[in-house]
Amino acid sequence: MTRILRRLGWLLFAAATVFLLHTLSQQQVDPSNRSLKAPDSTDAVQLRALQEVVGDDPIVLVAFVVRGDLPMLASDRDELAALRTKLAALPGVAAIHDAPVPDPGLVLMPVAIHDADAMAVAERVVAAARAGAPPALQVRATGLPLIEGTIARLVAGERQTIVPMLVAVLLAAAFAFYRHLGLALGVLLPPIAAIAWTGGSIALLGHQLDPIASLLDPVLLTIGVAASVHFVEAFRRERAAGRDPEAAASAVASELRTPALLATGTTMIGLWSLATSSVPAVLDFGVRSAFGVALAHFFTFLLLPAWLPHFAAGARPAAATTWFGARWFDQLRRARGPLLLGSVAATTLAIAGLFRVTSDNDPLRLLPADEPARVDHDLLAARLGGVEAFHLLVPARSPAAEPTRLLPFLAMLRQAPGVAGLAGQPTRNTDGALAVPLVLQPGGSGVRTPLFDDVERIGRVLGFDDVVAAGPSVQIARDSHRLMQSLTGSLGVSLLLLSACMVLGLRSLRLGAIGMIPNLLPALWLYGALGWWQRPVSVATAMIGCTMLGLIVDNTLHLLHHFRHARASMPTRQALRHALDQTGRAMSLSSAVLMLGFGTAALSRLETTVEFALLATTTIAAAWFATAAILPLLVAAFAPRRAPKEHP
């Protein structure tokens, strides 16, 4: 009866997992990327106030350009006038505004869209413009609906391509290494189940997919596979010691419970620290990924003890590796001078590079450089001097509303770096509030945030304390700046909590402090290198610190856990050799799997995913070096000389 109930339970679990995977595949994409914008910030409030003056209809800029940079013929302009009437009659089009430009070879039509599905209307407008344009003209189009719609389309495609590709690559790598399908599938089962239960639950609750959320599946898959590798390696080691499959799986579950629990906790802390962000997408990613990691480790101990004895009993046991720890540690000791000197030099340079780090975030950089929406945006921005705008929002009865005082203010702003000029006529609503549109030169948040601050500072100097910069571009730039600041704070919180967990988990202040060093170095080296290369920190780059810090600490915990227990009966150096024997293979293999997984994710079309994947791969490689090479030398030099007291 017990066996029947157990089988029924596994069938129900499998059915629920398949259902959740199907639900996950049907998850809708957020077409306007609302979750990337802080809804309650001051800039969000000012944007709503601006919309009361100018309306909230998004604009698509449709440009008709003469091929060869020649002046446009009068006949072509006549055809465009007729096409303008047709475009204005399309469903969802609110109006087509006038936009005179001095360029004789270009006609610009700003199309205001009044529809809930702005992306679909924008695509219909552009398609109709291309179909009806005279043959001698090229059609270029840009605007938030098109850019955000393109991002949404790429995000939807990521789940259909990158994740299956990642599963196939990891399965092939596991099979090539283990030469046994049961072991290879066992490595992938826990993370796939974690993705299904995490992502499927999110989809069932009606949450939409955004560019940050699209990182969740690759992160959970690679983290889960790394955890499974430690379990599988320990199982093969127990089988090599002569245990039968059932006893080996049970022994491994008992042996790894403590280090796996510590690894789970530290990884979750690193991810949870992202929840301090005010941007909903980052906050959601931190909470959801932490929950998914907990599920991945839970499924590791739920599924593998049942799977391995039945489907991997005939797998080749791990070869004896009692020589590995001694040989590796002896090589480290012979090379300790250059290793430590090089590490100190690299760390010193990295610290100096931190003072050169800047932050910048441009939503357009989410798109590949060859994506038509980005190509059109860049070409129009270069030709017109800028295609994005912000508004100077002047409240009713403000002294700045007087033309004699407003005009000198605008003259000063038109000379400000980053402002290309006026974008049209001022608009006033029935309450008397005034909005003046200004064209922005191309740039990211690193340039625009100081510009918007300067606009308001100049206003205060002139006595216009109530005048603000407002608009989607203002909100996006300042949200990005706030996000960078919050992620810096998250990294600090993560460091403190991880240090406390390391000390408590290892029951040693000195071991905990030593263990944090190889986990701090990769992040320090990464951000220092970005500073020296003058590569601005973006959203993806900033998230690396918190995400990777909680992940790469796993190998450190496994190594120090085995060292601590061996140290109870062995001298320090012998205990280190034993710990390296027990964990060296799993550390190297799990790091290789993580690098392979994130490296595969770099094939994405989304620049955010590519940047995150490449930096994650580099960080993991640096973490492996720090843990496998630097940590043993630090432990040998500074670890307690007497065995730590064991607690029952």
Mean pLDDT lowest among 28-32, 227-231, 350-354: 28-32
Q: What is the pLDDT of residue 641?
A: 59
Q: What is the pLDDT of residue 405?
A: 87
Give the total residue count for the chain: 648
Tell the residue number behind the tokens 């600090």, with chain if given: 492
Please compute the mean of the pLDDT values over residues 316-332 and round it to a whole number: 71
| Backbone angle region of 424, left / alpha / beta, with phi > 0 → left and psi within -120 to 50 → alpha | left
- pLDDT tens for 488-517 read 777 777 778 778 878 887 888 888 889 888
Phi and psi, residue 641, nearest 5°:
-80, -15
Q: What is the pLDDT of residue 193?
A: 95
Q: What is the pLDDT of residue 361?
A: 73
Contact call for residues 106 and 383 (beta carbons, < 8 A) = yes
- pLDDT tens for 59-93 read 899 999 998 778 899 999 999 999 999 999 999 99
User: 153 or 336: whose pLDDT is higher?
Assistant: 336
- pLDDT tens for 140-175 read 999 888 888 888 888 877 778 888 888 888 899 889
Please compute the mean of the pLDDT values over residues 386-395 and round it to a whole number: 90
Does the pLDDT value for residue 321 go beyond 70?
Answer: no
Please compute the mean of the pLDDT values over residues 342-371 and round it to a whole number: 86
Confidence of residue 253 (pLDDT cuts 50, 70, 90): very high
User: 264 or 647: whose pLDDT is higher?
Assistant: 264
Does the pLDDT value for residue 418 go beyond 50?
Answer: yes
Residue 8 CB neighbour total at 10 angstroms = 10
Give the CB-side neighbour count of residue 258, counting CA atoms within 13 A: 15
Contact call for residues 221 and 596 (beta carbons, < 8 A) = no
Confidence of residue 36 (pLDDT cuts 50, 70, 90): low
> Between the CA of residue 465 and those of 438, 469, 481, what are the distances in Å?
19, 12, 23
Does the pLDDT value for residue 43 go beyond 80?
Answer: yes
Most confident option among 24-38, 101-115, 551-565? 101-115
Mean pLDDT lowest among 186-195, 196-205, 259-268, 446-455: 259-268
- pLDDT tens for 594-616 read 888 888 888 888 777 788 888 88
Does the pLDDT value for residue 350 go beyond 90?
Answer: yes
Please compute the mean of the pLDDT values over residues 283-310 and round it to a whole number: 91
Does the pLDDT value for residue 640 go beyond 90?
Answer: no
Does the pLDDT value for residue 320 go beyond 60?
Answer: no
Residues whose CB falls within 8 Å of the CB of residue 114, separated by 6 or more in sequence, listed in order: 57, 92, 93, 94
Please compute the mean of the pLDDT values over residues 30-39 and round it to a whole number: 68
CA-derived radius of gyration, the chain: 29
Mean pLDDT lowest among 27-41, 206-220, 516-530: 27-41
Please compute the mean of the pLDDT values over residues 181-191 and round it to a whole number: 92
Most confident option among 188-202, 267-281, 567-581? 188-202
Mean pLDDT of the chain: 85
